[in-house]
Amino acid sequence: MPRKKNAQSRKPRFLEALGYALRYRCPNCHSGPIFQGRFNHVRVRCPACGLPYFREPGYFVGGMIVTYGLTVGVLVLIYVLMPLLPDVASISEPVKYALWIAFTLVLAVVFVRPAYALWLSVDYWLDPWAAPKSWTSAPGA
C-alpha cells in the first residue's frame, strides 16, 4: 500500500522534488497541477492545497532564464557535434541559418513548461512558503 505523503511533515529529497516538477505537480501537495491549458498558462494557485504559485510580480522571469539556459545548452552541444556530420557542408548558409532559427524557437517552446515547473519547485524546495490555512478548492482555480 503506498505511503500517503504529507508535504508539511518533511522536506522531500531534491531529486524527489525535481520528479514532481517534471510531472508539473504542486511542490507542496504533489497532486495539484501547475499549468492550465496547453501551452504556458501557470495557475494562480494550486487547486488542491491553495499554495500560491506567484510569490511576487515577475516571479517567473527566473523560469525564462532557465528556458534560455536549456535552449543555449542544447544548441551549443549540437554546434560542437556538427563537424561530425558528413553532409552538413553541402547545405547552403541561408538554409543553415533558417534551420538554426527554427530549431531555437522549437527548443524554447519545448523547454518553457519544464523550466517554469523546475523554477517553482526548486524555489519552494529551498525556501518553502505557506499555503493559506483555510483553503477550499474553487472551480477554475
Domain that holds residue 42: 14-126
- Domain membership of residue 83 (yes or no) is yes
- Domain membership of residue 4 (yes or no) is no
pTM of this structure: 0.77
Cα 123 from Cα 41, distance rounded (Å): 19
Nearest C-alpha neighbor of 7 from the set 119, 130, 132: 130
Q: What is the pLDDT at residue 135?
A: 54
- Domain membership of residue 31 (yes or no) is yes
> Which ranges of the chain have pLDDT less than 50?
1-7, 140
Q: In 3-state terms, what secondary structure has residue 88?
A: helix
- Domain membership of residue 1 (yes or no) is no
Number of domains in the chain: 1
State the burial class of residue 64 (Cβ atoms within 10 Å of its Cβ: 0-12, 13-18, 19+): middle
- Domain membership of residue 50 (yes or no) is yes
Cα 129 from Cα 85, distance rounded (Å): 49
Q: What is the pLDDT at residue 1?
A: 38
